[in-house]
Chain A
């Protein structure tokens, strides 16, 4: 226990917390959106994120980086980032849609119990992890340094580097677009309608199956974009990378109120900051234990989270 680190490193911990929170937010939105329409936790969502990191890694491999180059000039990095970001988003989005069709749809049509859907999703999750375990040889896949981690400027003791700026600004832009999609498009209207009341939405002429597919697509795309930021910031992935990120993102969604888009955002930033502060005090090894304790605590004290379960009223 060393609280002096917390005081002396407070600015840098805060910046890191915001960066981690932004990445968590992109993943936890997927949990929240799917929960909104299906009232079901998409257990395999963390694997959709993992597929995104793997896609990013694969795209970068095609350019023959050895890992020892100098960081790229900005324009080159930007075009490369757009390339692997978009590819990861597409692959993750498609994977999420396929997941819904394979693991959820038939069970939903049959009206099977929630336990069945859950077990089916866990099966799908394990299948994906193991397939990528075999492909990647169960080792850490290291990403080349594309963007310099040298500080550009400092705030107090915090060094602000280009990758942190990229994550924060990029995530902010995505949230604005998502806000637009959910509140001002026909698709967003459909998603909100199904979240509010599936049967009434059907009667009003909403194609529920289509909306559910699109919701999975949206969640997958967000996770894919999140995975591209994750790779630039953390620079490594492995087949079971999704598990702990998934637990954190899910905790963030619950903390903010699952089903609530705004809640997922705030919950993610709160959790990101909290994780940084507590791991500075307790040691990094205990980070996941802390996350789990928060999850249990929130579920016990206020299971609806800080902002309650409401997608239809949510503003991003």
Chain B
């Protein structure tokens, strides 16, 4: 089916370019990404909400979460249906710490990451001994349990949630206000670029190879001496940390959070981004996030039916193009190179 693989075509071209060309290419792409909110273009504008706010949520937020989830689902083949839990933990960490301590947003970020990572360890250590379907159900349950606990615990706001969450302090002369989503977009984009850089570094090194081995065949990986639990746990923790940062930024932007923001639907939507774009390939995943975030905003009549559409999309994609729009790199390319 996947005869035409844009990823490979681009990969071949990329291999033939010189380092200078690559550098220029990277700078141009990044500059465009930063400049998007400054553009005034009626074609890309969205009808009901302002384009810049769509750009922050869902577009860049989905991209960040999808890249985080991709480490878990795409790279290591662990189906995590409770990713929203990490997002929620990040958001609640920011809301609670800023209310009860004198820490500001930038100081809370490491805590948001830390708590999400801790949750990853607490869930992962027992759950990651299990495989496939069982693991999917456990993570699904985890996502819901975090939400139910948030609803039932009055100390963290109960069903009404938390309000009056402060935004980030100004940095480099950029003010974060309620009215202007652009600084939040730039902040998230910066985080996203850092995460992409980190994930790419990891993928090309030992952890990346270990994840790939685990994804392809866990038993064989184990026999070959890959300590599977350790690397699966790391994938989980890294994915969780990215979800935690995303949650903290999200909370600082919308200023009030309720447990109902963190439902299973969000987990599934992020999973749909990963599946549509191409599991395991960062660029595919971002493409998926941009498409699934943007289309329902652009075509407003679709947005009421978006979950129906996403559900259908997951079935259809699995049946006709199980590797997504931009599938991950084919292993053969590596074989040819090393041969």
Contact call A295/B152, Cβ cutoff below 8 A: no
Contact call B313/A41, Cβ cutoff below 8 A: no
Selected from A107, A131, A295, the residue in CB contact (under 8 A) with B318 is A107
Task: With both chains docked as a complex, state the minimum distance between the C-beta of A165 and any C-beta of chain B, in angstroms.
Answer: 33
User: For residue B315, which residues in chain A have a CB less than 8 angstroms away from its CB?
Assistant: 102-103, 120, 123-124, 127
Contact call B133/A118, Cβ cutoff below 8 A: yes
Q: Which of B96-148 contact A (CB under 8 A)?
A: 126-127, 129-130, 132-134, 136-138, 140-142, 144-145, 148
28 contacts between A and B (CB under 8 A): A41-B133, A107-B322, A112-B322, A116-B322, A119-B79, A119-B271, A119-B275, A122-B314, A123-B312, A123-B314, A123-B318, A124-B315, A125-B311, A126-B268, A126-B314, A127-B312, A130-B308, A133-B307, A247-B141, A250-B137, A285-B151, A288-B144, A292-B142, A295-B137, A296-B141, A299-B130, A299-B134, A299-B138
Contact with B along A297-314 (1 / 0, CB 8 A): 001100100000000000
Contact call A115/B308, Cβ cutoff below 8 A: no
A131 vs B308: C-alpha distance in the bound complex, in angstroms? 7
Considering only CB atoms, which chain A residue lies closest to B137 in the complex?
A250
Quick check: is A160 within 8 A (CB to CB) of the other chain? no
User: For residue A116, which residues in chain B have a CB less than 8 angstroms away from its CB?
Assistant: 318, 322
User: For residue A149, which residues in chain B have a CB less than 8 angstroms away from its CB?
Assistant: none
Contact call A123/B141, Cβ cutoff below 8 A: no
User: For residue B271, which residues in chain A have a CB less than 8 angstroms away from its CB?
Assistant: 119, 122
Selected from B81, B152, B304, B308, the residue in CB contact (under 8 A) with A122 is B81
User: For residue A234, which residues in chain B have a CB less than 8 angstroms away from its CB?
Assistant: none
Quick check: is B77 within 8 A (CB to CB) of the other chain? yes
Quick check: is B194 within 8 A (CB to CB) of the other chain? no
Contact with B along A19-56 (1 / 0, CB 8 A): 00000000000000000000011010000000000000
User: For residue A286, which residues in chain B have a CB less than 8 angstroms away from its CB?
Assistant: 148, 152
Task: With both chains docked as a complex, state the minimum distance between the C-beta of B283 and any C-beta of chain A, in angstroms.
Answer: 20
Interface of A (DSSP majority class): helix
A123 vs B268: C-alpha distance in the bound complex, in angstroms? 9
Contact with B along A124-156 (1 / 0, CB 8 A): 111111110110000000000000000000000
Question: 11 more A-B contacts (CB under 8 A) besides A119-B271, A288-B144?
Answer: A119-B275, A122-B268, A126-B308, A126-B310, A126-B311, A127-B311, A128-B311, A134-B305, A243-B144, A247-B137, A295-B138
Task: With both chains docked as a complex, state the minimum distance between the C-beta of A46 and any C-beta of chain B, in angstroms.
Answer: 11
A102 vs B314: C-alpha distance in the bound complex, in angstroms? 12
User: For residue B307, which residues in chain A have a CB less than 8 angstroms away from its CB?
Assistant: 126, 129-130, 133
Considering only CB atoms, which chain A residue lies closest to B135 in the complex?
A299
Task: With both chains docked as a complex, state the minimum distance between the C-beta of A93 and any C-beta of chain B, in angstroms.
Answer: 20
A299 vs B126: C-alpha distance in the bound complex, in angstroms? 9
Task: With both chains docked as a complex, state the minimum distance between the C-beta of B298 and any C-beta of chain A, in angstroms.
Answer: 20
Q: Which of B149-172 contact A (CB under 8 A)?
A: 149, 151-152
User: For residue B272, which residues in chain A have a CB less than 8 angstroms away from its CB?
Assistant: 123
Considering only CB atoms, which chain A residue lies closest to B274 in the complex?
A119
A118 vs B307: C-alpha distance in the bound complex, in angstroms? 17
Contact with A along B233-267 (1 / 0, CB 8 A): 00000000000000000000000000000001000
Contact call A114/B132, Cβ cutoff below 8 A: yes
Binding site for A on B (CB under 8 A): 77, 79, 81, 126-127, 129-130, 132-134, 136-138, 140-142, 144-145, 148-149, 151-152, 264, 268, 271-272, 275, 304-305, 307-308, 310-315, 318-319, 322
User: For residue B127, which residues in chain A have a CB less than 8 angstroms away from its CB?
Assistant: 296
Contact call B133/A292, Cβ cutoff below 8 A: no
**How many A residues have CB within 8 A of the partner chain?**
42
A247 vs B137: C-alpha distance in the bound complex, in angstroms? 8
User: For residue A43, which residues in chain B have a CB less than 8 angstroms away from its CB?
Assistant: 136
Quick check: is A180 within 8 A (CB to CB) of the other chain? no
Considering only CB atoms, which chain A residue lies closest to B1 in the complex?
A110
User: For residue A1, which residues in chain B have a CB less than 8 angstroms away from its CB?
Assistant: none
Task: With both chains docked as a complex, state the minimum distance between the C-beta of B312 and any C-beta of chain A, in angstroms.
Answer: 5
A269 vs B6: C-alpha distance in the bound complex, in angstroms? 53
User: For residue B138, which residues in chain A have a CB less than 8 angstroms away from its CB?
Assistant: 295-296, 299
Task: With both chains docked as a complex, state the minimum distance between the C-beta of A230 and any C-beta of chain B, in angstroms.
Answer: 20
Considering only CB atoms, which chain A residue lies closest to B77 in the complex?
A115
Quick check: is A289 within 8 A (CB to CB) of the other chain? yes
Considering only CB atoms, which chain A residue lies closest to B263 in the complex?
A240
Considering only CB atoms, which chain B residue lies closest to A35 in the complex?
B133
Contact call A289/B148, Cβ cutoff below 8 A: yes
User: For residue B130, which residues in chain A have a CB less than 8 angstroms away from its CB?
Assistant: 299, 303
Quick check: is A315 within 8 A (CB to CB) of the other chain? no
Selected from B129, B134, B148, B308, the residue in CB contact (under 8 A) with A285 is B148
Selected from B132, B134, B268, the residue in CB contact (under 8 A) with A303 is B134
Contact call B149/A289, Cβ cutoff below 8 A: yes
Quick check: is A106 within 8 A (CB to CB) of the other chain? yes
A296 vs B135: C-alpha distance in the bound complex, in angstroms? 10
Task: With both chains docked as a complex, state the minimum distance between the C-beta of A246 and any C-beta of chain B, in angstroms.
Answer: 10
User: For residue A119, which residues in chain B have a CB less than 8 angstroms away from its CB?
Assistant: 79, 271, 275, 314, 318
User: For residue B275, which residues in chain A have a CB less than 8 angstroms away from its CB?
Assistant: 119
A115 vs B72: C-alpha distance in the bound complex, in angstroms? 13
A300 vs B124: C-alpha distance in the bound complex, in angstroms? 12
Task: With both chains docked as a complex, state the minimum distance between the C-beta of A305 and any C-beta of chain B, in angstroms.
Answer: 12
